[in-house]
Structure 1
Amino acid sequence: MPAGLSFLLSNTDLNARGFGVRAAFGSVAQAREALAAGTVDFVGGALGFDTGGPASLIAPERVDFSPAATPATVDGSVVAEVSVTPDSVHRERVVRALDAIASGAAEKVVVARSLDASLTRAVEPVELIGRFTATAGGSTVFAADLSAAPGHDGNWLIGASPELLLRKRGSILQCVPYAGSAPKFDAAGRPVPNAAEELSRSAKDLREHAYVVDYLRDLLQPLCSRIAIPDRPQTISTNHVWHLATPITGELADPTITALELAALLSPTPAVCGTPTEAAARIIEEVEGPREFYAGTVGWCDAAGDGEWVVSIRCLELDSSRTKVSAWAGGGIVAGSDPDAEVAETTAKFQTVLSALADADRPVRADA
């Protein structure tokens, strides 16, 4: 196989890149066994929304860790046509999720809609990585060759995620879950007054966020000798959206548990699925259809078990022809969610992908 780029995870701290393909694994179990046996010393790639299902994990021929890449300039639009799940369809999905919540089937459900775009020319993954790097702000840019997963040969998952699922260094574990969000700009592109302050006081968004924090606390406490979780979330900004986020730090009682195993354990969190997890996932399948790599996780794990994984949101899947992409945006639905506000939230979240595909100063709108 060619010795070109096969994996990337880049943020303000570190630029991790894999080149070439020494081995490829279609499941977490296969990659975990290879790391444990010492037949590979690094894997990077993507886990699907269902971490027990297909994955695309690659042991590269060469790994490079370097300072984060310098952002380039986005050179014009590559968008030919865009189609988005209509507002009315997504609004109905939100209503169906609210009905399920009202019936007691779940407490929170994260419902998404999709965007498909044809491109003006073939665009290689390296160019898209550069475009996301130029427009991502402080988010983590990621790219994963999906060829190890059935039906995804030649496809790539590329995006800029604001959400750290986990970072493991020795016995120290960090997570920064996001849940609860508000658009920074209205449909006309004007800043929304007091959006951050209102988000920080929103009972609906604080409740939505608490589900995620409680989920992570319940999973991590048995694994940690100590864990620190703030009482209230912070309000954090990306280029297009305000978020509630809670930094969590723990010390693992058994530091031999690997970052790959932790990623498979923690994902998907209620931030991208809902709660209870199994019930929310069933409702998502019913109202939205099957998910593959959107809302899963992308990251890496080395022979020592250290690694870093982000939630695969604000991303697109580039097809093997390099001329078509699909993207997704979702929001957490809880009792009290407003369907119209949820539609507006997904439109704002699409802007990360659209800004990367178009001129950064004149992003394509996702209005439908």
Structure 2
Amino acid sequence: MTTQPFWHGFSERTPAGAHGHPLPFALVGGAETLIGHGERAALDKGPLETLSERVARFFEDQAEGPDVLVGAVPFSRDESAHLVQPRQVMRIQGRFDPHDVLELSSVRDRTPQTSGQCRIAGEPDADGYAHSVDAGLEAIASSAGALRKIVLSRSLVVRAEHPFDLRMLFARLAGDESITTFAAPLPARDGAPRTLIGATPELLVEKRGLRVLSHPLAGSAPRRTDKGADEASAKALMASGKDHREHALVVEAILDTLAPFCRDLATPEGTCLRATASLWHLGTRIEGRLKDAAISSADLVAALHPTPAVCGEPRAEAAAAIDRLEGYDRDFYAGAVGWCNAAGDGRWSVSIRCAEICGRTARLYAGAGIVPGSDPASETNETSVKFKAMLAALGIAEPGRGPERREGQGEAAR
């Protein structure tokens, strides 16, 4: 692992988020670690379709400061991304220990700060989500082929006695080296700072010069502690026609979207199993060579997002169904987190397996792809599995199915 040529302004680093306070922007993955402290300037607001021109104009106008914008893109294409130019930036090739790059050395040695008693409410609860899946299947069946897939999510709202320890949360999530851990400060709500924090296994798009990469995931199965059962779960996923159909919709859509930008485009490894600590996924690595290096990562994000992995197919029809069936605003969940620079390069991960943290409240999200053959009970269980890693990182004992309206304890009670 080697340090890239710039550690811009990092001689005056400020401490990372203390207990209950925001972390800096952080993206820690296998290929790269990027930390951005503070906010020197912010990108103008606007819908996703104007993102590329606004980014280009920003770098034309900003003669000073780090040559990078960092932040988050919301799920809705009509809402504005929250991208800022940090005051201080550190970029390192390779994955670094978050205790070091975020100045979390005290986390190793101190007693974890508990959030105390926690109350968890589902929005919707497990039964309500299963009913939404039923409604989604009916919408697909009645569309005469106009709607092929819907990704439906549900949310858990965790309210604690004390503010959540964001440093501890980030460090715990980063323990799974198969994923990219991220923290993205969001616009304040009612004067209170918010942070989107999570551990995503999915790369939306990376652009470096002429090279472009995407690694979509769709179709999943739970990991098992018993080795034989774990292998059986993986084999069952690889043999699942329903999951392969769901995955193919995502890959085809991304290939079709990237093709006009690319001279070459391929899936050299085909569809493979991808493992995280809690789930098996079907994944396909997509590699391409752009026709023109002037095509920016912001151009590609605007073209790709949201993919069928988080929205459905076709995009407009699926997004309309999500608005009808979910009953809450996804905000920055199922959007993208990442960075872009003046040269047009950038790396953007899909913001899933995440939570929005605001003081003593954490809103967790999990979703599942609904296609013909989906089973409401199985999809509900899939979302429960996807909640597990974040609940564990928050120091909350794993609840059974339907953790809603439950009194729980933080780390000290486990």
The TM-score, its normalising length taken from structure 1, stands at: 0.90
Match of 1:24 among 7, 24, 42: 42
Alignment match, 2:170: 129
Alignment match, 1:221: 259
Cα pair 2:28 2:98 within 8 Å, conserved: no
1:203 aligns with 2:241: yes
Deviation of the 1:351 alpha carbon: 1.1
Deviation of the 1:291 alpha carbon: 2.0
Match of 2:73 among 43, 47, 54: 47
Aligned-residue sequence identity (percent) comes to 38
Alignment match, 1:262: 300
Alignment match, 2:180: 140
Deviation of the 1:151 alpha carbon: 6.5
Aligned in 2, Cα 1:24/1:125: closer, same or farther, shift over 3 Å? farther
CA distance in 2: counterparts of 1:153 and 1:33, whole angstroms: 30
Aligned in 2, Cα 1:350/1:213: closer, same or farther, shift over 3 Å? same
CA distance in 2: counterparts of 1:277 and 1:351, whole angstroms: 29
1:114 aligns with 2:155: yes
CA distance in 2: counterparts of 1:340 and 1:16, whole angstroms: 39
Match of 2:58 among 34, 38, 50: 34
Cα pair 1:146 1:153 within 8 Å, conserved: no
The Cα RMSD (Å) is 2.5
Alignment match, 1:335: 372
**Code of the aligned partner of 1:306:** D
What pairs up with 1:167-316 in 2 under 5 angstroms? 167-185=206-224, 191=229, 194-230=232-268, 232-289=270-327, 290-316=329-355
Cα pair 1:234 1:244 within 8 Å, conserved: yes
Aligned in 2, Cα 1:32/1:125: closer, same or farther, shift over 3 Å? farther
Cα pair 1:146 1:152 within 8 Å, conserved: no
Aligned in 2, Cα 1:340/1:366: closer, same or farther, shift over 3 Å? closer
Deviation of the 1:167 alpha carbon: 1.4
Aligned in 2, Cα 1:314/1:154: closer, same or farther, shift over 3 Å? same
Cα pair 2:265 2:289 within 8 Å, conserved: yes
SS in 1 for 2:129: helix
**Number of residues of Structure 1 aligned to a counterpart in Structure 2:** 359
1:318 aligns with 2:345: no
Gaps of 5+ in 2: 1-12, 17-22, 100-107, 404-414
Cα pair 2:333 2:351 within 8 Å, conserved: yes
Aligned in 2, Cα 1:232/1:311: closer, same or farther, shift over 3 Å? same
Cα pair 1:180 1:243 within 8 Å, conserved: yes
Gaps of 5+ in 1: none
Deviation of the 1:277 alpha carbon: 0.2
Alignment match, 1:65: 91
Deviation of the 1:195 alpha carbon: 1.0
Deviation of the 1:152 alpha carbon: 8.2
Deviation of the 1:89 alpha carbon: 0.3
Bigger radius of gyration: 2
Cα pair 1:51 1:296 within 8 Å, conserved: no
CA distance in 2: counterparts of 1:308 and 1:152, whole angstroms: 30
1:165 aligns with 2:165: no
Q: Deviation string for 1:237-278 (max 9, x for gaps)? A: 111111000000000111112212212221110000000000
Aligned in 2, Cα 1:152/1:326: closer, same or farther, shift over 3 Å? farther
Bigger shift: residues 168-177 or 32-41: 32-41
Deviation of the 1:125 alpha carbon: 3.5
Deviation of the 1:70 alpha carbon: 1.9
1:367 aligns with 2:402: yes
Cα pair 2:262 2:288 within 8 Å, conserved: yes
Aligned in 2, Cα 1:316/1:152: closer, same or farther, shift over 3 Å? farther
Q: Deviation string for 1:145-198 (max 9, x for gaps)? A: 1127x7685111010000011111111011000001112249x9x955611111
CA distance in 1: counterparts of 2:278 and 2:114, whole angstroms: 19
**Code of the aligned partner of 1:116:** V
Alignment match, 2:3: none
Aligned in 2, Cα 1:102/1:230: closer, same or farther, shift over 3 Å? farther
**Code of the aligned partner of 2:386:** K
The TM-score, its normalising length taken from structure 2, stands at: 0.80
CA distance in 2: counterparts of 1:229 and 1:143, whole angstroms: 30
Deviation of the 1:205 alpha carbon: 0.6
Q: Deviation string for 1:13-70 (max 9, x for gaps)? A: 2210101100123443544420344546210000000234122111101110135332
